Structure 1
Amino acid sequence: MSDHVLVINAGSSSLKYSLVEARTGEAAASGLAERIGERQGRHLHRGPDGETETTRSIPGHEDALRLAIGAFESHGPSLDGLDLAAVGHRVVHGGSRFSASALIDDALVAEVTELVPLAPLHNPANLEGIRVARRLFPNLPQVAVFDTAFHQSLPPQAYTYAVPLAWLEDHGIRRYGFHGTSHAFVSQETARLLERDPAETNTIVLHLGNGCSASAVRGGRSVETSMGLTPLEGLVMGTRSGDLDPAIPAYLMREVGLSAEDIDLALNSASGLKGLAGENDFRELERLRASGDEHAGLAFDVYCHRIRKYVGAYYAVLETVDAVVFTAGVGEHSAEVRATSLNGLERLGICIDNDRNNEPATGARRISTDDSEVAVFVVPTNEEWQIAREALGVVLA
């Protein structure tokens, strides 16, 4: 058996895949099938022969995965010659039942199906990817890697909402947190950069993309995180509001006549940066802000202010912080967001080096001054590698 894992991330109308060497993180090939179920789909494969793209009908997820298998055979590397260790699946919501990655069997599929109400937009697609892969790779171990699992180490005072006990006990209302594979990978990589054992390292991780989340990681374990029962809570995001007064939906239903569905759709798909500035692509938002657009300027300020609040709150939770780390698209590429969010926190031992921060560099790097008590890093996330190594760990256990 090799150390190669086929990583699958199935969405409602897409299927992403990556062939990852679990011990090194090297991706031998990757691809994307999108617009599944539409009249015209698109399949992109990146392998040893370079990038190939086809446009064709992709009726379902099985057709998408068969396209991927065919691309491996045509453009490499051949899956038959690799002796794959496992197929690793991203599953968004594991509820309180799954605190670690797990081998997939019929019982696990049934349990994840029961959790669909907690993630109705994600778990059904993840389950479809699992069903398809089990049919096409019947002899390979299949492993579920849950976005929520890393945050199952939260203590009760962090995951419990102050609501009627019946809501907690009968309906599973609690903080679950998301982006767990990213927070796990980035916190571990930060400890490596500090040349410290993760068990002796405290970090504040800021995952800033179209979806945004923060976590406080003490000794390698998540002890607080910004997303809650759903991915809506916490930081301002591309199209999600993040934190808001919980009475706002009731007010809008009572005074404006909006339905629960209207409000849910607006808070998830038409709020955040898009709601404030009409634009959720951060590069375009920065362009509009630079041109003097006041709505874009306000959106940027609200976005950074919320990040700053969470950094302060999680500093208090951890008491001692070794590093603040930025990751994901905005976190990795927007020097201005990093500087604005942490500006003025020198009394907390956080001192950004402006030259380092503004360098057009890629890869993991330190952007704080040499004498900053708290290190500040940019660490590109690699969720596919994290899924691959967790999947391999389950198979070898």
Structure 2
Amino acid sequence: MSVVLVINSGSSSFKYQLIAVDEGSREHEVLASGLVERIGEPTGAARHTTPAGTSEIERRIVDHTDGFGVMTEAFREYGPDLDDATVAAVGHRVVHGGKRFFAPTVITAGVEQDIDELGALAPLHNPPNLEGIRAARRVFPDVPHVAVFDTAFHQTLPPEAYTYAIDAGIAEKHRVRRYGFHGTSHKFVSESAAEFLDRPLAELRTIVLHLGNGASACAVRGGVSIETSMGMTPLEGLVMGTRSGDLDPAVLFHLHRQAGMDIAELDTLLNRRSGLLGLTGTGDMRDVQSAADSGDETAAAALAVYRHRLRSYIGSYIAHLGGVDVIAFTAGVGENNAQLRAETLDGLAHFGILVDADRNAARSRDTRIISTDDSAVTVLVVPTNEELEIARQTLSVS
């Protein structure tokens, strides 16, 4: 097996996993995982987990480089020893690759510069991704570092799917188009579904529903993304924890004129104060579902909006795919909220979609079928594993 260190870096934190991957199969083993957070605050925190247990520390963590020092010290003290593990490569999640990056890419100074420049398209994500890359390259200078882009899987979208109907010159100059996100997850889940069903990936029409705090849908034909709900940014599409998803653009003009809101306030409204949070006061689906189950009408109405948007995309993607063979739910909400799955697909028997109540209600961490035996469409729950997908893609080019 080859060992890959996978890094997912944010502005004040980063997650990591040390994964041993069998390149000849889908076998793997997570050797360690962890989280370094509250970077730059008076008191930082770090957690390191191995099969033997979890260790935690609190101390000031000045910057990402200091954070990587905390991580490597945890490996030295609690294992596994990184020298003994012989790390083959370091894989980095990068949110936005624009049109430039359509595959996992070995990181060079030029690639760093491109990621930095693409920060204009993802100002909340690419800069911290890049900070983590630079810190990791300083700490691990002797192994290849590979960027795996959230947008890459969607580079196969046809022009009619990625083009917005605005002035073509302006769109070209300012790179305005649909890019799509969560591509690493959509790729992993669509391929895992085919493998689980023992059916050729090339023959399947699959709708993947990645439902977490961030949420997106993807139509996959033969393993290729042909349509996805997120757009130029991760704001478009489904209702999310704190993001609005689809919205009439004129709402922004109206709020500017009538409420005096400036660009920064509108950005905060749509990205941080909308979605389930805006509708109910909490962005956590578990809290919203619990409140609705207890008779809270506001929470119930919010869930109806959430499901309505989701069903709209399912119907649209059935049309684009010319039918559907598999619907796969994944991510935190998709994997764990059986009631949402059932109510979203209720009444879609005319599409050949029938959910088995007992199968759907059964809790499991494994990939499983939740549709009935006579359902024309196979409905699955497929736990996503973006870190494993990043590790695999990293090894493919390192």
TM-score (norm. length: structure 2): 0.98
User: Helix, strand or coil for the counterpart of 2:83?
Assistant: coil
Confirm whether residue 14 of structure 1 aligns to residue 13 of structure 2: yes
Alignment map for 1:274-353 (pairs within 5 Å): 274-353=277-356
Q: Deviations over 1:33-92 (max 9, x none)?
A: 000000011100001331011111111111111111111111111110122110000000
How far does residue 246 in structure 1 lie from its aligned partner after superposition?
1.0
CA distance in 2, matches of 1:84, 1:297: 49
Q: Percent identity?
A: 57
User: Helix, strand or coil for the counterpart of 1:174?
Assistant: coil
Q: Deviations over 1:205-253 (max 9, x none)?
A: 0000000000000110100000000000000000000001111101111
Counterpart in 1 of 2:81?
78
How far does residue 194 in structure 1 lie from its aligned partner after superposition?
1.6
Q: Deviations over 1:303-333 (max 9, x none)?
A: 1111111100000000131100000000000
Confirm whether residue 183 of structure 1 aligns to residue 186 of structure 2: yes
State which of 271, 277, 289 in structure 1 corresponds to 2:274.
Answer: 271
Alignment map for 1:172-251 (pairs within 5 Å): 172-251=175-254
Counterpart in 2 of 1:163?
166
Structure 1 vs Structure 2 CA RMSD: 0.9
User: Helix, strand or coil for the counterpart of 1:312?
Assistant: helix
TM-score (norm. length: structure 1): 0.98
How far does residue 22 in structure 1 lie from its aligned partner after superposition?
2.5
Q: Does structure 2 retain, via aligned residues, the 8 Å contact 1:49–1:76?
A: no
CA distance in 2, matches of 1:15, 1:328: 19
Q: Deviations over 1:70-116 (max 9, x none)?
A: 11111111110122110000000000100111000011011111101
CA distance in 2, matches of 1:376, 1:48: 33
CA distance in 1, matches of 2:66, 2:93: 19
User: Helix, strand or coil for the counterpart of 1:336?
Assistant: helix
Stretches of structure 1 lacking an aligned partner (at least 5 in a row): none
Counterpart in 2 of 1:133?
136
How far does residue 182 in structure 1 lie from its aligned partner after superposition?
0.4
How far does residue 256 in structure 1 lie from its aligned partner after superposition?
1.6
CA distance in 2, matches of 1:11, 1:261: 21
Q: Deviations over 1:169-193 (max 9, x none)?
A: 1010000000110001000000111
CA distance in 1, matches of 2:85, 2:259: 60
Counterpart in 2 of 1:3?
2
CA distance in 2, matches of 1:57, 1:15: 15
Q: Deviations over 1:276-313 (max 9, x none)?
A: 00011111111111221111111111111111111000
Given residue 265 of structure 1, which amino acid in structure 2 is its aligned partner?
A: T
Worse-matched range after superposition: 238-247 or 47-56: 47-56
Confirm whether residue 252 of structure 1 aligns to residue 255 of structure 2: yes
User: Helix, strand or coil for the counterpart of 1:26?
Assistant: strand
Q: Does structure 2 retain, via aligned residues, the 8 Å contact 1:100–1:145?
A: yes
Counterpart in 2 of 1:371?
374
CA distance in 1, matches of 2:360, 2:52: 36
Confirm whether residue 29 of structure 1 aligns to residue 32 of structure 2: yes
User: How many residue pairs end up in the alignment?
Assistant: 394
Q: Does structure 2 retain, via aligned residues, the 8 Å contact 1:48–1:75?
A: no
Stretches of structure 2 lacking an aligned partner (at least 5 in a row): none
